[in-house]
Amino acid sequence: MVSSLAYIGFETPALDEWQEFGSEVLGAQVVNRADGLGLRIDDRVERIMIHPGERDNLAYFGWDCADDAAIDEMIGRLIRAKIATTEESELAAVRQVERLVSFTDPFGFRHELTTTT
């Protein structure tokens, strides 16, 4: 089962504005990444990730699961609902999580189930 929201990702043409908003309004530590910005607000590597894009858009949600068994249970539920899942080990390294399984919900939103060490 999902235990909590791990992170959220956005796309924007205004990375500079997000950098200012993150540091001055949220009080977040801004991390420059090869693929955009990360905003760190607690002990998590990054809770909010901002990527360059042509328009402002919600890109994805990351969801913490307790362990591999919890992710496997979620995969089973998604398969029964006829929603395809994808194991993404390379993206897991980018997101700095141990395991990452992605899927797209019926409304077109991307979700990432994760475990951390």
User: What does the pLDDT look like over 82-108, one tens digit per residue?
Assistant: 999 999 999 999 999 999 999 999 999
Tokens for 69? Answer: 């068994």
Tokens for 30? Answer: 């801004």
Tokens for 74? Answer: 């979620």
- CA 47-49-54 angle, to 5 degrees, is 155
Q: Return the pLDDT at 116.
A: 87
Domain that holds residue 80: 2-115
How many structural domains are present in the chain? 1
Q: Please give the model's pTM, rounded to 2 decimal places.
A: 0.92
Parallel, antiparallel, or unpaired: how do β-strands 57-65 and 110-115 relate? parallel
33: CATH: 3.10.180.10
Parallel, antiparallel, or unpaired: how do β-strands 99-104 and 110-115 relate? antiparallel
